[in-house]
Amino acid sequence: MDYSQFLAMKQEIALLVVFLLVFLYDLFMPKRAQRGLSGFTIALFAIFTLGGFCPSFNGGMQSAFGGMYVTGPVMVTIKNILNVGVLIVLIQAAKWANSEHQVIRRGEFFGLLLLTLFGMYLMISARHFLLFVIGLECASLPLAAMVAFEKNRYESHEAAIKYILTAVFSSAVFMMGLSFVYGLTGSLYFDAVAASLSASAGAVVSPLLVVALAFVISGVGFKLSLVPFHLWTADVYHGAPTSVTSYLSVISKGAAAFAFLVILTQVFGAVYSQVWEWMLYALIVLTITVGNLFALRQTNMKRFLAFSSISQAGYIMLGIVGDNAMGMASLMFYILVYVFSNLAAFGVIQAIENQTGKLDRDDYRGLYKSNPHLSVVMMLAMFSLAGIPPFAGFFSKFFIFAGALQGTESIALYVLVLIALINTIPSLFYYLLVVKAMFLSSDEPVIPAFRSACSERVGMWVTVAGILLLGVVSCFYNEILTMCQSYGLVSLV
C-alpha cells in the first residue's frame, strides 16, 4: 500500500492530530491543569481553522484510495465553513462545559464533537458509497452520545433514544437504497454509477431505480430534517444540551446538505428530469411550508428554532435544483450565513439558559430593558434568518433563488421558487414575534439583568460580525462563485 495517499487527506489528518492532543491533555494532565482544557481545545482548534485557509490545504484536485476519496478547493472551502461554525460552538459551550455538573465529562464532549466533524469530512470528500457510509456513521453515532450528555435530565435521555432510533432507521433505509443502486449498476463508485445511468438515460426508467432513489433521498432526508422525515427534530433539539442543539442545527445540517448536493448532481444527475426532479420539488415545498406553519405554534425557543431549521433546510435544497455552479455557490454561501445567524440566536438562548434556566419566548418579554446587548444580538439573528435587508440572510436567500432560476425556462421551477418566496411571509411573522417580545412589551422584564460569561460574549461578537459583514461585503460570495465556476460541478467527482 502506498501510504503517500494519506497526504491528500491533510485536513482530516490535522483534525485527528487535534483530537489526539485534546484526548491526551484530558487523560494525562494533572488535576490543577485540567481547568485549562476548554481554553486549550479552543486555541488548538482556532489554529487548525486558520490553517485551513492556507494555500497548502488548497492545492488543487487530489484523489486517494483508487478515487474513493477526493479533495479540492470546493471541498476544502465547505470544510473551512464548518470549521468556523465548530469554533463558534466551542467558544459558546465553554461556560456550560466548565459548569459543576459537566466539568467531569467535558473531555468526552470535546472528543465526541471532533469525531463527528471527522465523519462529516469523509462524507464531503467521499466518492464511493462505502466511504460515505463510514463517514455518515462516524458523524451520527457520537452525536447520539452528545445528545444524551446531560444524563440527569429525563428530556436528554428521551432525545437520545429518539435520535439513535431515527439514525439507525435512516441508515438502514439509505443502505437499502444503495443495495438497489449496486444491483442496477454493479458499482458503488460515484462516477461509475453516473456513467452507467448516463448510458441508459433516455430509455424507459426502471422502477427499481425510482425505488433506489426514493430510499437514498429518504435516508439523507432524515439527516437534513426534510419533511416528512423531520418528526424527530423538535424533540431532539429540545432535549439535547443547547450546545449540542446548536451543533446539530448548523454543522450537521451543513455537511449533510453539501453531501446531498454531490450525490444528487454527480451520481444521479443523468436521470434528473426523469426520476428525482419531482421528488425534490415535493420535498422542498413540504419542508418549507410545514416548517413555517409549525414554527408559528412554538413558544419554547429551542423547539421554535428546530422548526425554523426545518424550513431553512428547504431553502438550502433550492441550491440543488438549478444544477449549476451558481446554485452550488449559493448553497455554500447560504450555509455560511446560516452558521452565523443561527449560532447568534443559540448563543443568546444559551447565555440566558445558563443564567436563569428559562427557555420560553414569553420569558423574553421586556428583555431589552434588562439586557439590551443580548436583545440586539437576538434581533440581528432573527432579521438575518428572516431575510430582512441589509443583513446577510437577505442576500443568501436572494442568491439561492437566483441560482435556482439561472438559465431555466421551466414553469415548474418558477412556481417552486414563487412558493418558497411566499413562504417567507409567515417566517417574517414568527421571527418578529421574538423581536416584539423583547422590544415592544410593556411588561416588566422577566429575566433580570446579568453579565454573560466572557466566552459567550466573544461567541456573540463573532456571529454579529459575520451577520453584518456578509451582508455588506460582496467579496465572500464572489470568491465562492468564481471558485465554483472554475472547478464546476463536474470536478466534484
pLDDT in tens, 361-407: 888 888 888 888 888 999 999 999 988 888 888 888 888 888 888 76
488 compared with 135, residue with greater pLDDT: 135
Residue 491 has pLDDT above 50, yes or no: no
Whether 490 has a pLDDT exceeding 50, the answer reads no
Tens digits of residue pLDDT in 127-149: 889 999 999 988 888 888 888 88
Q: What is the mean pLDDT of the chain?
A: 85
DSSP output for 372-441: HHHHHHHHHHHHHHHT-TTSHHHHHHHHHHHHHHTT---HHHHHHHHHHHHTHHHHHHHHHHHHHHHHT-
Q: Specify whether the CB–CB gap between 188 and 131 falls below 8 A.
A: no
User: pTM for the complete prediction?
Assistant: 0.92
Q: What is the pLDDT of residues 146-166, one digit of tens each?
A: 888 877 777 788 888 888 888
- Amino acid (one-letter) located at 319: G
What proportion of the chain, given as a percentage, has pLDDT over 70?
94
Q: Using 50, 70 and 90 to split pLDDT, how confident is the model at 203?
A: low
Helix (H, G, I), strand (E, B) or coil at 218: helix
Residue 255, pLDDT above cutoff 50: yes
Q: Is pLDDT at 201 greater than 70 in this prediction?
A: no
Bridge partners (DSSP) listed for residue 64: 69
| Span 253-265, average pLDDT | 87
Residue 20 has pLDDT above 90, yes or no: yes
Tell whether the model's pLDDT for residue 256 goes beyond 80: yes
Instruction: Categorize the per-residue pLDDT at 488 as very low, low, confident or very high, splitting at 50, 70 and 90.
Output: low
Element (H, E) at 64: strand 62-64
pLDDT (0 to 100) of residue 492:
45
pLDDT the model gives residue 232: 86
Q: Name which residue leads in pLDDT, 204 or 198.
A: 198
The stretch 262-274 carries a mean pLDDT of: 77
* C-alpha span between 64 and 8 (Å, rounded): 7
pLDDT in tens, 51-88: 888 776 666 778 778 888 888 888 888 999 999 999 99
**Peptide bond preceding 142 in cis form (omega within 30 of 0):** no
Q: b/e per residue, 332-368, with b = 16+ CB within 10 A?
A: bbbbbbbbbbbbbbbbbbbbbbbbeeebebebbbbbb
List pLDDT tens digits, range 423-462: 888 888 889 988 888 888 777 788 888 888 888 889 889 9
For residues 403-422, average pLDDT: 82
Greater pLDDT, 198 or 259 = 259
Helices (H) and strands (E) in the chain, counts: 21, 2
Q: CA-to-CA distance for 381 and 316, rounded, in angstroms?
A: 18
Give residue-wise pLDDT tens across range 319-357: 888 767 788 888 888 999 999 999 999 999 988 888 887
Residue 404 and residue 324: Cα distance in Å, rounded?
8
